[in-house]
A and B are shown apart, each in its own frame.
Chain A
Amino acid sequence: CVSMLQLPLVVTAQVDVVLLLVSFLSLWTRLTQLGYPNAVVFDEVYYGQFVSLYMKRVFFIDDSGPPLGHMILALGAYLGGFDGNFVWNRIGAEYPSSVSVVGLRLLPAVCGSLCVPLVYLLTLELRFSHLAALGAAVLPIPISFFLTTSDDPSGLLPENSLIVQSRFMLLESVLIFFLLLAAFSYLRFHNAAPHSVFRFGWLLLSGASCAAAVGVKYMGVFSYLLLLGVASLHTWNLIGDRTVSHLSVCVQCVCRAVCLLVVPLLLYVFWFYVHLTLLHRSGPHDQLMSSAFQASLEGGLSRITQGQPLEVAYGSQVTLRSSASQPIPCWLHSHKVNYPIRYENGRGSSHQQQVTCYPFKDVNNWWIIKDPDRQDLVVSSPPRPVRHGDVIQLLHGMTSRFLNSHDVAAPMSPHSQEVSGYIDFNVSMPAQNLWRVDVLNREAESESWKTILSDVRLVHVNTSAVLKLSGVSLPDWGFRQLEVVAEKHFKSQSVGWTVEEHRYGTSQEQKEREAELHSPTHIDVDRKISFWAKFLELQWKMLTVKLEDSEHKYSSSPLEWVTMETNIAYWLHSSTNAQIHLIGNPVSWGVANLSLLAYQLLAAIYLLRRRRGFKDLPDGAWCQFVCLGCVCVGGWLVNFVPFLLMEKTLFLYHYLPALCYLHLLTPALLEHTHTHLLSRATHRRALCVCVTAVLVSVFLSYRTFCPLTYGSPELSANQLQGLKWRDSWDILYRRR
């Protein structure tokens, strides 16, 4: 603030020095002692298992986000020489010496460190237009530099929560990095000279970072939409510029659309392409996917299904898998036990043989497809394929009962019909065992029923009810297997069945057939599904698979984040009081909230006064002020408000991206105050003093919470108690 009169040349040199200094400090705070603690910290236990699966090339599905973030973590692990042999089972478990802890944590930490210089550059970019508009004004430059140098890092650099989040194998820092990069490069594009060609390079970078941000976490979508909004506003102004020819406008619009819409979309798909290419072995989550998908993975189902006959024919022996993966994937099943005559609640049943859905491979999962008009149970030669619309009977292989349904209420879902293996008790309850085959994903009306590929609906001919998995477990008499019913008013999706294991039956006699059913299947044909089909299925599953959501000990509600009512204990030393917490720097947190309020207040006053014809700000400064609001307040809003509507379990770290935008706002607002609101030199000096005081207190509180950020040095119980600034914080002490 004092050295105001300096040559522009010197000033330019200062920029780099400042940037370097900021980067250095940032790297230093984020990277020192990265290997400590040498133990699994908080969500590392969650992401770590996926990293291991990448190392082993085993397929998995994670509903928390698209695969890019996991892949970046895995890349770090790969470079660090991690082989995937570590059991991620609890927080606090020690890493063995064979695991390079620094390698696991390096990439997120570097991303987190780069956020700080990026914020610095972004701030410059936000006011760059303003500086340019003022021409060769020397005066504001040192001031702005004073403020940027001192304040920017004041936001991010000593923000304990961001440091904690960056130092471990977690995704938030990566997400924030890409978000900031996208905003920065877009503003670079916008501020660049209109005829330069390179500026579209920046736009492309912006689009790519958006795709990366969305690829790390779905949350990135909100920032992407904000960026699209700002970009379309700028494009709208371009369209309104009548000095530009129609052709030029068209070309520019197309270019922007390609860079910001097409490229991100393609890149997003590309992440999945890499993901699916890397993971080609079957694994623990296979069961969630369709049979066709599973068959494309090495090992697992493909080992069984390789070489099965493709077309289901009369006489085929098949297992039928429900295509609904809720609650768990299972196969149509029956066994030699009947429904109880009366259920617990007194309702009656048909007392015929139980038909259920069973989530394990079993010989009782085999069914034989029979032509109602013929008696034979073997496949004729040539085989007669079953086609869409054909009526069949399904014979249970081991018990020779026909799949049957009738107007009797199902055991657990009384609004649906019971499905049973038919036994004739001579009680004027005739067999109703005809089923019509509806191939749901057919391309032609005459399409045949194909193994694995066809999704088939079985419609009961007498009642036109549909065979479906109700999703309810039967009580003990049904061995806790899943209930299968026939429902007339079907609306849900869980009505499809897929033939998974399949072979042509060759034995007419029951005994031979049983032996045949016990023998494993095998023949050889190669079957593949396209990348697009796999991509769409995986994406759909990731969006729809919902794991049981329950409250976590450290989960919190969004409104608690603003005032930092909560914290998260990340790690506690196994024997001492050393611990790591996700706690923000309370002072900078408060300053950020204050600046948010101040901006809104200022904006309201300016708007009202402008409406009445008082222009407090020159047009350039006003534009800059609005732009600041769009990026910072808008960024905060889009990253915060959606959480208010979400019903999933939320944590404090979900707030960090929004917080970054707020920290971005603070220095810019101070500079605005300095240049536009305060006219007297004494006032300005007073502001400088205030800012310095705030900076010192930010730094002091950063130092105070350092032990909880880095996990060392260990504090005594009393000291820990002293750090409990709020009652609602959970800080752990050991009882001695």
Chain B
Amino acid sequence: MDEECITQWNKTGDTSTLRNRKIFPTSEKTLQTPSTLLSKDKNKKFSKDPPTRVLLMLVVGLSFSTRLYKITEPPHVCWDETHFGKMGSYYINRTFFFDVHPPLGKMLIGLAGYMTGYDGTFPFIKPGDKYKHHNYWGMRGFCAALGSCLPIFAYLIVLELSQSHSAALITAILLIFDTGFITISQYILLDPILMFFIMAAVLSMVKFNQQRCSPFAASWWLWLVLTGANLAGALGVKFVGLFVILLVGLNTVWDLWRLLGDLSLSLVEIAKHFLARVVGLILLPLFLYVTIFAIHFVVLNKSGPGDGFFSSAFQSRLIGNNLHNASMPEYLAYGSTITVKNLRIAGGYLHSHWHLYPEGVGARQQQVTAYLHKDYNNLWLVHRQDANESQSGTPDLVRHGDIIRLEHKETTRNLHGHLHEAPLTKKHFQVTGYGINGTGDTNDLWQVEVCGGQNGDLVKVLRSKVRFLHRATGCVLYSSGKTLPKWGWEQVEVTCSPYLKETPSSQWNIEDHINPKLPNISLSVLKPHFLEILLESHIVMIRGNSGLKPKDNEMNSKPWHWPINYQGLRFSGVNDTEYRVYLLGNPVVWWMNLASLGLYPIMVAVVSIAIQRGFSLKHSHVLMREGGLLLFGWLLHYAPFYTMGRVLYYHHYFPAMLFSSMLTGITFDILLKSTDLILRPPYSDRLQTLGQMVLLFSVLYSFYLFHPLSYGMTGPLAHEPGSTMAGLKWMDSWEF
């Protein structure tokens, strides 16, 4: 431990030792080095620290100016601003909505808008709508400011990891002059916010790693807490934040493993280390994350477009929802009109419509599905099995064990089950709508069973868990949670399950209950516990996420497209009269990253084989350990997309791209510094400087060429002469 700390200190204190290679000839076959003698005077020349502050200011200045330039252009809604701007407005209006991402990003957008005088009245209906007098610059500026921090963080991270200004500068330049990052930072999107937290978490983690020599000092705690807070932030914006949590988690496990192997530490001290990390990296983020949701639920207290996704209990919280301070007949009765909701979280209402099951899918009868939204087709009538209700007087109440018939109000067909395979869950039976005007057959009869009830118990609206047992086959009405194909309007499959285990999938509750002959009683519905709401909203979000399937005419982006910069995204404008912004990375930058991803494993292989055979190389530590960390970060943020079934977009690659750029900084820097393996010092240094200059100018020149992608272009498209982008359409798949 001590020894390590000293070397660490040397590393930070005297960067010049890193400059020149020393060879420790452990094997006699090692070549003699020609450079050891000459290294002394070289050291002098470079021993002065580069002006850190100046470089940092330069990075900050460039970063902010590139991102804030033309921030208000174009003055209309671009791409996903239509979603996130709208959701920002929902926060200002306190309207409940549903989104597949956690709320922090949209809350911050809403807050930024609120602070800069946006009043939440702009409807954000579709891309291309003009903002007119609405104050949108605040929200865009906020995102851009967070986006401007990315190159700065990257600079600091690489500097911390490699102790090399040139590597850090290469990284910063790659990110500053990448058109993709500029574009994605300039609009009201979640990505700049997400990436801000990701990079801040990584930076704090790296800083925290540096503090290992002074455990439990104030700065040690500071970085630990900052890491935790940023993790919560990242996860609070998008679930992609899980990847950076994984990265930090594995880094922590590795760190603890190192501490465990340090026999000079007692077990008590190790336990203290462990507990500190549990508090800082698990409990604190968890607390913050839950707090974000608490704020979300407190702020959004009005009924809005997202109600139907949630359970009846949840809806009763929302002002304006029909269940808020609801009043309805308390016990289920014959002749009532009801809606039936599945108890599986986000289970949907029992639903039917005029469409039939297609040929080849069981019997060709009317579809019965589960539907997440409130709809007229969710209404069912409760009848006795023999269909003659007493027309006068108070209706009879339904009791546990009664045999009923459910008639679909709109189509007058009965809920029907029979021994045909269900459309998706082949082990279950199909459920259909059958008969007309309430006359059907014996397969339309269902026995009502209140969970935990006895014969004769009444069915409480909203509060009883009810199961419907099919009389003829003995199976139970079940919602499988699987989405039907297009013929079923992508609603959820409803089946009759022969497995009678009590699961939420086979339990239902009566949500709406309309019967004019019965007195309405105000129901104080059981208010759900906060943790229940939290769990419910997560399951709804996860289900929503995996349900995002590509639409028909939409080009699905594949993960392998991304690193090669195969195809971008249209942010604004299609044809030549419009103001066009196209999200596409600077190809020179991206292809450099691609090259470094190929180069890095080769360099590592060469170096590690050399070490394994007993040679010693300088920079190998930085290359393998710190580079490995970044490569791992890249993999974590990239590889999982291959297994995702949901629709993917080009901008999903940007977090991975951050790690890739940092890796490029380190790889190219070490590659250039390794020139002394082939040349003698004065020449090797010149070659190195030359390499850096070429790198810098190629990035700058390509940025000059491609900057209209971010800052907007008008006029003819690139394949026509006279376009500003003429000759720059290097790949056929680019659409500008």
- A residues with CB within 8 A of B: 236, 239-240, 242, 246, 249, 413-415, 489, 491, 550-553, 555, 608, 611-613, 645, 647, 727-728
CB nearest to A649 among chain B residues? B426
Q: How large is the interface on B (under 10, 10 to 19, 20 to 34, 35 or more residues)?
A: 20 to 34
The answer to whether B214 has its CB under 8 Å from any CB of chain A is no
Query: Do the beta carbons of A553 and B426 come within 8 Å of each other?
Result: yes
CB distance from A262 to the nearest CB of B (A): 19
The interface stretch among B126-134, B255-263, B386-394, B507-515 is B255-263
In the complex, what distance in Å separates the CA atom of A613 from the CA atom of B266?
12
Contact of B260 among A240, A415, A551, A608 (CB under 8 A): A608
CB distance from B607 to the nearest CB of A (A): 13
CB nearest to A415 among chain B residues? B553
The answer to whether B7 has its CB under 8 Å from any CB of chain A is no
Query: Do the beta carbons of A239 and B613 come within 8 Å of each other?
Result: yes
The answer to whether B456 has its CB under 8 Å from any CB of chain A is no
CB nearest to A552 among chain B residues? B426
In the complex, what distance in Å separates the CA atom of A239 from the CA atom of B611?
10
**Smallest CB-CB A-B distances: 3 pairs:** A415-B553, A551-B426, A240-B612
CB nearest to A242 among chain B residues? B614
CB distance from B616 to the nearest CB of A (A): 13
Residues of B within 8 A of A240 (CB): 612-613
Residues of A within 8 A of B733 (CB): 491
CB distance from A402 to the nearest CB of B (A): 27
Query: Do the beta carbons of B555 and A242 come within 8 Å of each other?
Result: no
Contact of B612 among A239, A414, A611 (CB under 8 A): A239
The answer to whether B424 has its CB under 8 Å from any CB of chain A is yes
CB nearest to B733 among chain A residues? A491
Query: Do the beta carbons of A413 and B424 come within 8 Å of each other?
Result: no
The answer to whether B425 has its CB under 8 Å from any CB of chain A is yes
In the complex, what distance in Å separates the CA atom of A553 from the CA atom of B645?
24
Query: Do the beta carbons of A236 and B612 come within 8 Å of each other?
Result: yes
In the complex, what distance in Å separates the CA atom of A246 from the CA atom of B615?
12
Query: Do the beta carbons of B555 and A611 come within 8 Å of each other?
Result: no
Residues of A within 8 A of B643 (CB): 645
21 interchain pairs (CB within 8 A)? A239-B609, A239-B613, A240-B613, A242-B614, A246-B29, A249-B613, A413-B552, A413-B553, A414-B553, A415-B553, A491-B555, A491-B567, A550-B424, A551-B424, A553-B427, A608-B260, A611-B260, A611-B261, A612-B260, A645-B643, A727-B499
In the complex, what distance in Å separates the CA atom of A551 from the CA atom of B424?
6
In the complex, what distance in Å separates the CA atom of A727 from the CA atom of B501?
9
Q: Which of B29, B261, B425, B553 has the most CB of A within 10 A?
A: B553
Contact of A647 among B257, B267, B499, B645 (CB under 8 A): B645
C-beta contact mask, B133-177 vs A, less than 8 Å → 1, else 0?
Answer: 000000000000000000000000000000000000000000000
Check A611/B609 contact, CB under 8 A, given A551-B426, A727-B499: no
Query: Do the beta carbons of A611 and B257 come within 8 Å of each other?
Result: yes
Query: Do the beta carbons of A728 and B499 come within 8 Å of each other?
Result: yes
CB nearest to B263 among chain A residues? A613
In the complex, what distance in Å separates the CA atom of A432 from the CA atom of B609?
64
> What 16 new A-B contacts, CB under 8 Å, besides A239-B609, A246-B613, A551-B425?
A239-B612, A242-B27, A242-B614, A413-B553, A414-B553, A491-B567, A491-B733, A550-B424, A551-B427, A553-B426, A611-B260, A612-B261, A612-B267, A613-B263, A647-B645, A727-B499
In the complex, what distance in Å separates the CA atom of A415 from the CA atom of B552?
10
In the complex, what distance in Å separates the CA atom of A240 from the CA atom of B608?
10
Residues of A within 8 A of B402 (CB): none
CB distance from A81 to the nearest CB of B (A): 38
CB distance from A381 to the nearest CB of B (A): 39
The answer to whether B735 has its CB under 8 Å from any CB of chain A is yes
- B residues with CB within 8 A of A: 27, 29, 257, 260-261, 263, 267, 421, 424-427, 499, 501, 552-553, 555, 567, 609, 612-614, 643, 645, 733, 735
CB distance from B582 to the nearest CB of A (A): 14
Contact of A489 among B261, B425, B427, B555 (CB under 8 A): B555
CB distance from A171 to the nearest CB of B (A): 23
Residues of A within 8 A of B735 (CB): 489
Number of A-B contacts (CB under 8 A): 46
Check A612/B426 contact, CB under 8 A, given A240-B612, A242-B613, A727-B501: no
Residues of B within 8 A of A613 (CB): 263
CB distance from B726 to the nearest CB of A (A): 17
Query: Do the beta carbons of B421 and A553 come within 8 Å of each other?
Result: yes
Q: Which of B261, B427, B499 has the most CB of A within 10 A?
A: B427
CB nearest to B29 among chain A residues? A246
Contact of A550 among B426, B553, B613 (CB under 8 A): B426
Residues of A within 8 A of B426 (CB): 550-553, 555
Residues of B within 8 A of A491 (CB): 555, 567, 733
In the complex, what distance in Å separates the CA atom of A553 from the CA atom of B425?
8
In the complex, what distance in Å separates the CA atom of A647 from the CA atom of B643?
10
CB nearest to B421 among chain A residues? A553
CB distance from B324 to the nearest CB of A (A): 39
Residues of B within 8 A of A553 (CB): 421, 426-427
CB nearest to B643 among chain A residues? A645
Q: Which of A240, A415, A491, A727 has the most CB of B within 10 A?
A: A491
Residues of B within 8 A of A608 (CB): 260
Residues of A within 8 A of B552 (CB): 413
Residues of B within 8 A of A415 (CB): 553
Residues of A within 8 A of B567 (CB): 491
CB nearest to A645 among chain B residues? B643
In the complex, what distance in Å separates the CA atom of A429 from the CA atom of B593?
50
In the complex, what distance in Å separates the CA atom of A414 from the CA atom of B552?
11
In the complex, what distance in Å separates the CA atom of A163 from the CA atom of B267?
51
Residues of B within 8 A of A550 (CB): 424, 426
CB nearest to B554 among chain A residues? A415
In the complex, what distance in Å separates the CA atom of A552 from the CA atom of B428?
11
CB nearest to A238 among chain B residues? B612
CB distance from B253 to the nearest CB of A (A): 12
In the complex, what distance in Å separates the CA atom of A647 from the CA atom of B642?
13
In the complex, what distance in Å separates the CA atom of A389 from the CA atom of B413?
62
In the complex, what distance in Å separates the CA atom of A60 from the CA atom of B735?
41
CB distance from A86 to the nearest CB of B (A): 28
CB nearest to A488 among chain B residues? B735
CB distance from B131 to the nearest CB of A (A): 28
CB nearest to B566 among chain A residues? A491
CB distance from B557 to the nearest CB of A (A): 10
In the complex, what distance in Å separates the CA atom of A341 from the CA atom of B613?
78
In the complex, what distance in Å separates the CA atom of A246 from the CA atom of B613?
8
Residues of B within 8 A of A249 (CB): 613
CB nearest to B719 among chain A residues? A464
Residues of A within 8 A of B614 (CB): 242
Residues of B within 8 A of A552 (CB): 426
CB distance from B495 to the nearest CB of A (A): 11
Check A612/B645 contact, CB under 8 A, given A491-B555, A550-B426: no
CB distance from B642 to the nearest CB of A (A): 9
In the complex, what distance in Å separates the CA atom of A414 from the CA atom of B614?
66
In the complex, what distance in Å separates the CA atom of A608 from the CA atom of B261?
9
In the complex, what distance in Å separates the CA atom of A14 from the CA atom of B643?
51
Residues of A within 8 A of B29 (CB): 246
In the complex, what distance in Å separates the CA atom of A551 from the CA atom of B422?
10
In the complex, what distance in Å separates the CA atom of A239 from the CA atom of B610?
10
Residues of B within 8 A of A647 (CB): 645
CB nearest to B567 among chain A residues? A491
In the complex, what distance in Å separates the CA atom of A249 from the CA atom of B735?
52
Query: Do the beta carbons of B263 and A612 come within 8 Å of each other?
Result: yes
Residues of A within 8 A of B425 (CB): 551
Residues of A within 8 A of B257 (CB): 611
In the complex, what distance in Å separates the CA atom of A551 from the CA atom of B29?
64
CB distance from A249 to the nearest CB of B (A): 8
CB nearest to B480 among chain A residues? A551
Residues of B within 8 A of A489 (CB): 555, 735
CB distance from B721 to the nearest CB of A (A): 15
Residues of B within 8 A of A645 (CB): 643
CB distance from B594 to the nearest CB of A (A): 20
CB nearest to B361 among chain A residues? A550
CB nearest to B555 among chain A residues? A491
In the complex, what distance in Å separates the CA atom of A647 from the CA atom of B546?
13
